[in-house]
Amino acid sequence: MEKLTHEKLVTSGGKVITVSTWNRDSGPTSQTITTQHPSGKTTVERVSGGKLIP
């Protein structure tokens, strides 16, 4: 069974970083890392089957 978890971090510089991780019983399978910059720019990185952020 897959489960989705979310973690949110606000840096001292004002960036908001959200990490969404899909987990299976065997461990994490994929992640989406979204960064919202103070300027309003948003970047998204998807990682699947590679090195995942702990």
Q: What is the DSSP letter of 25?
A: T
- pLDDT range class, residue 1, cuts 50, 70, 90: confident
* 54 within domain boundaries: no
- pLDDT range class, residue 29, cuts 50, 70, 90: confident
Domain that holds residue 43: 3-48
C-alpha 22, offset from chain centre: 10
Can you give the pTM of this predicted structure? Answer: 0.79
By three-state DSSP, how is residue 52 classified? Answer: coil
Is the per-residue pLDDT at 12 higher than 90? Answer: yes
* 20 within domain boundaries: yes
* 41 within domain boundaries: yes
Residue-level pLDDT at 3: 92
Q: What is the mean pLDDT of residues 26-48?
A: 92
- Structural domain count of the chain: 1
Q: What is the DSSP letter of 30?
A: E
Run of H or E including 4: strand 3-10
- pLDDT range class, residue 28, cuts 50, 70, 90: confident
